[in-house]
Amino acid sequence: MSNNNGYKLVQGNEACVEGALAAGMRFYAGYPITPSTEIAEISAQKLPQIGGKFIQMEDELASMAAIIGGSLAGLKSMTATSGPGFSLMQENIGYAALAEIPCVIVNVQRGGPSTGMPTSPAQGDIMQAKWGTHGDHPSISLTPNSVQETYEYTIKAFNIAEKYRTPVVLLMDETVGHMREKLKIKDSSEIEVINRKKPTCEPKDYVAYRPDEDMVPQMASFGEGYRYHVTGLTHDETGFPTNNNDVSGKLVQRIVDKVEKNIDDITYYEEYRMEDAEIVIVAFGGVSRAAKSAIDDMREKNIKVGMFRPITIWPFLEKQINDVAQKAKEIYVAEMNLGQYFLEVDRVAGKKCPVKKINKINGELITPNEITYAVTGGAIND
């Protein structure tokens, strides 16, 4: 590893840990799984050196549970996994959503379903990141496409989790997790770090789940003198369970609204050569890098093509996709699955212009040539 002028040559997985530490992560609980394991290894190495804690749990169910516990006890907490482990975490991700416990879950996607292709890239967990846990719930997923972005968006994932008191998924793919690029580690003065709101009232006046105007309740840590109850049952503002239909309905609506109604605050995307684009490629994560290359090739042949790259995968960037569809003649959604994100793009854009799929699920990256071939019908493929 080189270290020049604040630059390091590192893997995406290491950048993730650097970002997490910069955001204030002080507790990591996880279980080894390819291709995310380096995140656990590097956390195990670095956390005790700054007074933080690492624990290797017995499985991913326990890992997710432990980070919720760690967060409740006051430490910013994270776990990392891949498909099979992400499946095991789903129940407790729902718990964190309903009990409003900030935490970050990194999923470095690999080929699935089941054990699938552990060392190969895929983007097959797009819908799972949204709907993996049961019931209606808020879902936030961010997808970086480079080592530097992995660092930046891990920090943002923590900030969003803390601000909205909700689990946030950093949805990487094997390509980005294992790719080595230069990383600029920022000075702490350049990094915005958001911490959860703490109660300022006396403990006797604390109503644990009474939301402020921003729909987010103040959060005391266990041990700070605010003795309160936390449950995965639907609960009223006191935090105690209730079967009251009105209260239960409003609770679920609020935890969804606090994210959906603040979507502009968590909207991240990139537009590439979109100024006059008639053909738009929607791509994210590792595939977006191939798409950029394909677009440059096609632009040389005077094809007016550009890319819309969502970084915020969930909530779905409906407004931006709608804008893209107003101008585009054709949209292609390129992803390493059978068309999961396509479903959302088609739902919003499909009535305005044709939306087509470019998919690959064999464990190989989608290449620039394949994108060019799909878009041009082979006309300029070489």
Partner 1 sequence: MTNTNCNEMTQKYYRVDRMPHIWCPGCGHGTLMNTVVRAIDKVGLNKDDVVVVSGIGCSSRAPGYMDFNTLHTTHGRALAFATGIKMANPKLHVIVIMGDGDSSAIGGNHLIHAARRNIDITTIVFNNNIYGMTGGQFSPTTPYGDFATTAPFGNIDKAFDLCSLAQGAGATYVGRGTAYHAPLMQKLIEKGLENKGFSFIEGLSLCPTYYGRKNKKGNAFKMHSYFKDNCVDIKVVEKNPEKGENKILIGEFYNSPKTEYTEGYQVIIDKFQK
Binding site for partner 1 (CB under 8 A): 26-27, 29, 48-51, 53, 55, 57-59, 61-63, 65-75, 77, 91-92, 95, 221-225, 227-233, 240-241
Specify whether the CB–CB gap between 72 and 101 falls below 8 A. yes
Nearer to partner 1, 27 or 153 (CB): 27
The residues, any chain, with a CB within 8 Å of residue 253's CB and separated by 6 or more, are: none
CA distances from 382 to 234, 288, 371, 379 (A): 58, 20, 12, 9
Nearer to partner 1, 221 or 248 (CB): 221
Instruction: Indicate the residue among 59 and 260 with the shorter CB distance to partner 1.
Output: 59
Cβ proximity to partner 1, 67 vs 331, nearer residue? 67
Distance of closest approach, residue 132 Cβ to partner 1, in angstroms = 15
Triad 265, 312, 67: Cα angle to 5°:
90
Shortest reach from residue 48's CB to partner 1, in Å: 5
CB of 66 to partner 1, least distance (A): 3
Question: Tokens in use for 77?
Answer: 């907490």
- Tell the smallest beta-carbon distance from residue 150 to partner 1 (Å): 24
Q: What span, in angstroms and rounded, lies between the C-alpha atoms of 256 and 126?
A: 19
DSSP string, 332-361: EEEESSSSHHHHHHHHHHTTTS-EEEEE--
Measured from the CB atom, the residue of 97 and 375 that comes closer to partner 1 is 97
Distance from the Cα of residue 228 to its chain's centroid: 30
* Least distance (Å) between residue 230 CB and partner 1: 5
In the complex, least distance from residue 17 CB atom to partner 1, rounded to whole angstroms:
16
* Tokens describing residue 380: 């300029």
Instruction: DSSP letter for 119, please.
Output: E
Q: State the nearest-atom distance from the C-beta of 134 to partner 1, in Å.
A: 12
Q: Cβ closer to partner 1: 65 or 298?
A: 65
Name residue 233's beta-bridge partners: none
Select 224 or 257, whichever has its Cβ closest to partner 1: 224
**Cα(253)–Cα(40) distance, integer angstroms:** 35
φ, ψ (nearest 5 deg) of residue 25: -60, 130
Determine the length of the chain. Answer: 382
